[in-house]
Structure 1
Amino acid sequence: MKSIIPVLAAAGLLAGCATTPAPVDTRDQFMATLQGMCGQRFEGALAYAIDPNSEFAGKKISTQVVCTAEGVRMPVQVGEDRSRTWIFTRPPAGLELRHDHRHADGTPDAVTMYGGMAQAGGTARAQSFLADAYTARIVPGAETNVWTVSLSEDGTVLTYRLERHAKPRAEFVMRRVPG
């Protein structure tokens, strides 16, 4: 009887391990959410800006979700300006957001590819990205930037929010365009 007890205990431990679900990585879930939006268009406007004379004020803002082998790209149009693209990738180090800025001829702007990695605590529908050292070097004052990108539960509203020094700086709210 003594030899059966350790075997039963070990079997119980193994059975417990087999039923324990693997931890869920919300960064993977967020990328899956974005990839599920491929081809969708969103239009909206600046909902908030610390500067009322912002270059975005009074202009239509739109984007379309474009999926690639490397990740998800969201070209952003502000009025007639098509110089911006948000790029989401899933490198081994985590979930990354980059802001690609280009001139009309396609050449990179001096201030481009800034952004950072997602911080812990995001969800399948919202992630916050902390400015990295590269961003702090090329964008004066941006060392504390946090960009939060979120999608409403019903998938119809995309929100992009920028905070700097723990204060709201700008927010775009865009609604999905049917079709």
Structure 2
Amino acid sequence: MVLLLAGCNPHMQNSTNGAPAADSQPFEQFFQALAQHCGKAYPGGLTLEPQGDDMLTGTELLIVHFRECSDDQLKLPFHIELEASQSWDRSRTWIISRHADGLELRHDHRKADGSDDSNTMYGGFTVGEGSVITQQFQSIPRTEESGYFRGWRIEIEPGVRYTYGTVRGDNWSWRIDFDLTEPLTEQPPAPWGHD
């Protein structure tokens, strides 16, 4: 736990009150808002799923763990409770990287043995200015294929809510919400393929 908290850089925040610097870009403030939760894990659930998509039933416990934080990168494992088998899918980690002109989202997918899944490290970069609360990441291949914007949207209200999902045009197509009001007392183990 000490090592996890030590990874959260205090220089990313205003030294007097822990708030993001007022003169920083919205994407930088957004990144800092995510980093405020470093070292903690939170419960969540499915909010919206496209018709015909059966990845989740809506009854599973979902957990996001703000596990690894550095000045320019956050790694957030996404754990899915598999109710039927009373086990967990620990294959996914969201990686959010900060660059000089915006953020990058990547999806690190692993198999149970830690090796790369056949579909891994896909993602995209932020589009537009976004806001302190919301940033959108474009999938160029999916956008080109469909002819309209496709990608991912992440929202963060520190101490209230963390939301992740896919978007088509202006609308959510798949969405999960996590309750940030109370962190879990017991943190999940490392995701597959990570120490």
Aligned residue in 2 for 1:71: 73
Q: Distance in 1 between matches of 2:146 and 2:129?
A: 25
Q: Distance in 2 between matches of 1:68 and 1:166?
A: 30
- State the TM-score, normalized to the length of structure 2: 0.69
Contact 1:148 1:161 in 2 (8 A): yes
Identity %: 29
Q: Which has the higher helix share?
A: 1
- State the TM-score, normalized to the length of structure 1: 0.74
Contact 2:93 2:107 in 1 (8 A): yes
List alignment gaps of at least 5 residues for structure 1: 1-21
Deviations 1:34-85 (A, max 9, x none): 1111012121111110135521222111111123335111100111101000
Contact 1:132 1:143 in 2 (8 A): no
The alignment status of 1:145 with 2:146, answered yes or no, reads: no
Q: Distance in 2 between matches of 1:41 and 1:143?
A: 34
Equivalent position SS for 1:34: helix
How big is the alpha-carbon RMSD for the aligned residues of Structure 1 and Structure 2? 2.6
Quick one: which amino acid aligns to residue 38 of structure 2? C
Q: Structure 1 residue 142: deviation in Å? A: 10
The alignment status of 1:97 with 2:105, answered yes or no, reads: yes
Equivalent position SS for 2:106: strand
List alignment gaps of at least 5 residues for structure 2: 1-21, 82-87, 186-195
Q: Distance in 2 between matches of 1:107 and 1:46?
A: 27
Q: Distance in 2 between matches of 1:95 and 1:26?
A: 11
Aligned residue in 2 for 1:131: 139
The alignment status of 1:171 with 2:175, answered yes or no, reads: yes
Segment of structure 1 superposing worse, 79-88 or 44-53: 44-53
Distance 1:142 1:111, change over 3 A: farther
Instruction: Say how many residue pairs are matched.
Output: 154
Distance 1:141 1:85, change over 3 A: farther
Contact 1:50 1:168 in 2 (8 A): no
Aligned residue in 1 for 2:54: 54
